[in-house]
Amino acid sequence: MQKRFSQACENNRLPILEQLQRLLKDSQQLLEIGSGTGQHASCFAPQLPNLLWHTSDVIQNHDSIIAWIQDTNAQNLKLPVTLRIGADPWPEGDFDAIYTANTAHIMQKDEVQLLMSLVAQHLPLGGVFCQYGPFTEKGQFSSESNLAFHQHLLSEGYGGYRDIDELRGWVAASGLQLSEVITMPANNLMLVWHKQ
């Protein structure tokens, strides 16, 4: 079984974990959307013993996620379910926390809009959604490298960066509210949403 490795995941895991330990201290069941290689799940779950960490992604990524999970041997880390937003049903479970990293700029605009709607729909009152990655704020890129990466993503057929105000607008009537915008290393942000 092939374990894939992402250097970006390796670089950003400890700063993200520091935030998650604070933000998820009262959570019990978490759904990770887009578990990718599986590195984040295998790093974070053992350090968050208070919650059950459920992985998900498209089927092509399952082998790597499973390999990381098997090597981690954490009792609170669950095997991936198949989830492509807009194609697969929402996973079953009583998730009071949702986490996703580096997905919004890969997905198409309508997929991100649907993702925000589904999170708002399925999170219980008091639930938390931690959304990590690069975003624009009021249409502005935080660096020239972010602008260049956005343009590269568009040229490759990806959706590109989403703006925080755009995300906020999509869930304005849903009770999902942006409570924190945390500056992270390498021009990334952690958006913290709560269901009110």
pLDDT in tens, 125-164: 999 999 999 999 999 999 999 999 999 999 999 999 999 9
CATH of 7-195, one of 3.20.20.70, 3.40.50.150, 3.30.365.10, 2.60.260.20: 3.40.50.150
By percentage, how much of the chain surpasses pLDDT 90?
Answer: 94
CB-based contact 123:96 (threshold 8 Å):
yes
Can you give the pTM of this predicted structure? 0.96
CB-based contact 135:106 (threshold 8 Å):
no
Q: At 1, is the pLDDT very low, low, confident or very high (cuts 50, 70, 90)?
A: low
Task: Specify the pairing of strand 97-101 against strand 29-33.
Answer: parallel
pLDDT in tens, 68-104: 999 998 999 999 999 999 999 999 999 999 999 999 9
Mean pLDDT lowest among 6-10, 20-24, 94-98: 6-10
Task: Count CB atoms within 10 A of the CB of residue 108.
Answer: 14
Q: Give the gyration radius of the chain's Cα atoms.
A: 16
- Give the mean pLDDT of 13-18: 97
pLDDT in the model for residue 10: 87
Task: Count CB atoms within 10 A of the CB of residue 1.
Answer: 11
Give, in order, the Cα–Cα distances in Å from 104 to each of 79, 128, 184. Answer: 23, 17, 16
Angle 135-167-47 (CA atoms, 0-180°, nearest 5)? 65
- Going from N- to C-terminal start, the domains of the chain cover 7-195
CB-based contact 162:105 (threshold 8 Å):
yes
